[in-house]
Chains A and B, each alone.
Chain A
Amino acid sequence: MSQTIFAPWDDPNEKPLIQFKGVTKRFGDFTAIDNLNIDIFEREFFALLGPSGCGKTTLMRMLAGFENPTSGSILLAGQDIVPVPPNKRAVNMMFQSYALFPHLSVWDNIAFGLRRGNASKDEIADRVEEMLRLTRLSKFAKRKPHQISGGQRQRVALARSLAKAPKLLLLDEPLGALDAKLRQDTQFELMDIQEKTGTTFVIVTHDQEEAMTVASRVAVMDEGRLIQVATPSVIYEAPETVYVADFIGDVNIIEGTASQSGDKVEITWAEGEMPIRGTTAKTFAPGQTCHFAIRPEKVTITTERPDSANMLQGRVIDIAYLGNLSTYHVKLPNGTMMKAQTANTRRLANRGITWEDDVWLSFTDTAGVLLER
């Protein structure tokens, strides 16, 4: 039995649910979205990730219908939705502030959207009960929003936006107001609900870990442009630019000049240091400036001289102890700081490396990625 991997974006026959075609949005002189194209497919959990002010919220508000693009078109299931007002779109949104109606009970909040359609009383009641069960809120149906906790309010907001079974659900920083532990639980809950209902989710977040956890694909945005759109693992392991590599997770970036032979590259980066050996599928001109990016967990730290493609000697300046992991900040002879991360598989007393120790850093020639910019 072969399991098909969910990847409609690789299938040329698949029709996207949402298409942004050359969308630009300007507020006065400020360009929030700059000639942007994306395809989002059915049943996807699509994350828009970027620093605040990068245009991700504007993009989402255009999908909901609260903003109109200055130029370009937005298609939902092949139909241009730009002229459609928000109350006529098969799109629902979960607001960052939740925007629960304070004068209505949890039950009435969830029923609010259903009552705007022409569903019968019984149908509405059934649907609300179903939503209450899905979000485990049945006990709180009669309470007002101010009588329940933050996590429960978040679930009411989700239930309310899902009640009308929209083609597309937009989530604007849905977990921003929750504390770390609750946020993790809720992330898995969101994924679970997304799978159960089969709804397409578009989530806006500035939390890279959240985007990585929940999303089928992540779009990294900066200054109104898409920098890279890919699955979380590709974004993490094969970023296309230094910006993406730096934005997602922790990374060591070494700038140098390339000299390539086949897929092997040697990067000359500092006086008196061995060139770094890496591999790449791209072509670099001899002497071209390039950036070598390597994640700290791919750098091994040892006290003995290891045997590896790349070896660097340095001194431990700082140790960040995170419980499960430790990150060592190692200063190389020329002053460059490198981070190396190890899993703390042994208890503290048994580990050999401490402050001011001379250590070796090593990594294989396939551990890092070479970036042009």
Chain B
Amino acid sequence: MKRFSWFNATTLTLGFAFLYLPMVILVIYSFNESKLVTVWAGFSTKWYGELLRNQEFLDAAWVTLRVAVFSSTIATILGTMAATVLVRSGRFMGRTLFSGMIYAPLVMPEVITGLSLLLLFIGIGLDRGVFTIVLAHTTFSMCYVSVVVSSRLSSFDRSLEEAALDLGCSPFAAFRLVTLPIIAPAVISGWLLAFTLSLDDLVIASFTTGPSATTLPIKIFSAVRLGVSPEINALSTLMIAIVTVGVITTSLITKRASVAQQRDEQAAARAT
């Protein structure tokens, strides 16, 4: 162990304070009795109760949840397919270009993605609403899924799939019965990642939404322009909680999967 040093302790504290102080303040004030956000008047959970009676927020939450579930599910299916093809197909003309194009939306500014999708939806005359947000979210979260899944697939032993074919599986059955169960942890963490990304997206959603569908981030953003209310604090606290749970679950799944993989590899190494 390294010796305790004041310098290290200070740096660490400052760093974490910088990262988490704003959120801590938000969480604390969500339990504030007073209607004034900046004045502490005692502990209360009344804003959470208030939130549950606010139909607008509940509607927005329902829209957000539906969008997140649908878009992350579609993104997971498409992302897994893309990853499988890119890892498996070996070298073909333009492979680098294709894999680059899959990952490009990761670094594309959200405003650009949102704007181009908006133009597309107007162009093909699609009514904007929940459906268009789902499409938009699928578009950008698919890349994240395919990154996670392809990193798992690249270490996947091809002979397992060949063994399944050899034992009488069709290629699709081999994927479903052998490949998918083995890469499942990566697929699940890809889904959770897509889900959290969709949950907190504001920019792309506001470009692609219509009057009928307001997601929570949009709702919060527009409510804050009229002044921060303790209700918003309560809502934000809940969202932080959900995202935290999602991220922790993802990292636990990934960790467990890598431990299991390591254990399998060690077992294999013992046999040699």
**Which residues of A does B touch, CB under 8 Å?**
64-66, 85-88, 91-93, 95-97, 99, 101-103, 112-113, 116-117, 145-147, 149-151, 153-154, 160-161, 164, 177-178
Closest Cβ–Cβ distance, residue B138 to chain A (whole Å): 29
Closest Cβ–Cβ distance, residue B262 to chain A (whole Å): 10
Mostly helix, strand, loop or mixed at chain B's interface?
Answer: helix
A99 x B264 contact (CB < 8 A) = no
Nearest opposing residue in chain B for A172, CB measure: B159
| B271 interface hit (Cβ, 8 Å) | yes
Total number of B residues with any Cβ neighbor in A under 8 Å: 26
B272 x A177 contact (CB < 8 A) = yes
A99 x B271 contact (CB < 8 A) = no
Nearest opposing residue in chain B for A160, CB measure: B167
B182 x A86 contact (CB < 8 A) = no
- Which of B47-55, B105-113, B168-176 contacts its partner? B168-176
Contact sample, A vs B, 9 pairs, CB 8 Å cutoff? A87-B169, A93-B163, A95-B162, A116-B169, A117-B168, A145-B267, A160-B163, A164-B168, A177-B271
B181 x A103 contact (CB < 8 A) = yes
A87 x B170 contact (CB < 8 A) = yes
Q: Which residues of B contact A85 (CB under 8 A)?
A: 165
Which 3 A-B pairs rank lowest in CB-CB distance, beginning with the nearest?
A: A150-B271, A113-B167, A116-B168
B162 x A86 contact (CB < 8 A) = yes
Closest Cβ–Cβ distance, residue B179 to chain A (whole Å): 10
Near A by CB (< 8 A), chain B positions 158-213 give 159-160, 162-171, 173-174, 177-178, 181-182
Decide yes or no: A64 and B166 within 8 Å by CB, A97-B159, A99-B160 being known contacts: yes
Closest Cβ–Cβ distance, residue A118 to chain B (whole Å): 11
A88, A97, A149, A160 — which one has the most chain B CB atoms within 10 A of its CB?
A97
Decide yes or no: A146 and B178 within 8 Å by CB, A87-B169, A95-B163 being known contacts: no
| B95 interface hit (Cβ, 8 Å) | no
| B263 interface hit (Cβ, 8 Å) | yes
B162 x A149 contact (CB < 8 A) = no
| B270 interface hit (Cβ, 8 Å) | yes
Closest Cβ–Cβ distance, residue B106 to chain A (whole Å): 30
A66 x B162 contact (CB < 8 A) = yes
**Interface mask (B257-272 → A, CB under 8 Å = 1, otherwise 0):** 0000001100110111
Q: Which residues of A contact B174 (CB under 8 A)?
A: 87
Q: Which residues of B contact A116 (CB under 8 A)?
A: 167-169, 173
CA distance A149 to B182 in the complex (A): 21
Q: Which residues of A contact B169 (CB under 8 A)?
A: 87, 116
CA distance A64 to B177 in the complex (A): 20
Q: Which residues of A contact B170 (CB under 8 A)?
A: 87
Closest Cβ–Cβ distance, residue A175 to chain B (whole Å): 11
B160 x A101 contact (CB < 8 A) = yes
Of the residues A86, A97, A153, A154, contact of B165 by C-beta under 8 Å: A86
B165 x A87 contact (CB < 8 A) = yes
B159 x A95 contact (CB < 8 A) = yes
Closest Cβ–Cβ distance, residue A135 to chain B (whole Å): 16
Nearest opposing residue in chain B for A149, CB measure: B271
CA distance A112 to B170 in the complex (A): 13
Closest Cβ–Cβ distance, residue A180 to chain B (whole Å): 13
Nearest opposing residue in chain B for A97, CB measure: B159
CA distance A96 to B268 in the complex (A): 12
Decide yes or no: A146 and B167 within 8 Å by CB, A101-B178, A103-B181 being known contacts: no
B167 x A92 contact (CB < 8 A) = yes
Closest Cβ–Cβ distance, residue B161 to chain A (whole Å): 9
CA distance A161 to B270 in the complex (A): 23
Nearest opposing residue in chain A for B174, CB measure: A87
Near A by CB (< 8 A), chain B positions 201-251 give none
CA distance A47 to B149 in the complex (A): 40
Q: Which residues of A contact B162 (CB under 8 A)?
A: 64, 66, 86, 93, 95, 99
CA distance A66 to B168 in the complex (A): 13
CA distance A154 to B271 in the complex (A): 9
CA distance A85 to B174 in the complex (A): 13
Closest Cβ–Cβ distance, residue A211 to chain B (whole Å): 21
B157 x A99 contact (CB < 8 A) = yes
Of the residues B177, B182, B267, contact of A146 by C-beta under 8 Å: B267
Q: Which residues of B contact A86 (CB under 8 A)?
A: 162, 165-166
Q: Which residues of A contact B263 (CB under 8 A)?
A: 146
CA distance A149 to B271 in the complex (A): 7
Closest Cβ–Cβ distance, residue B258 to chain A (whole Å): 14
A86, A113, A145, A150 — which one has the most chain B CB atoms within 10 A of its CB?
A86
B173 x A99 contact (CB < 8 A) = no
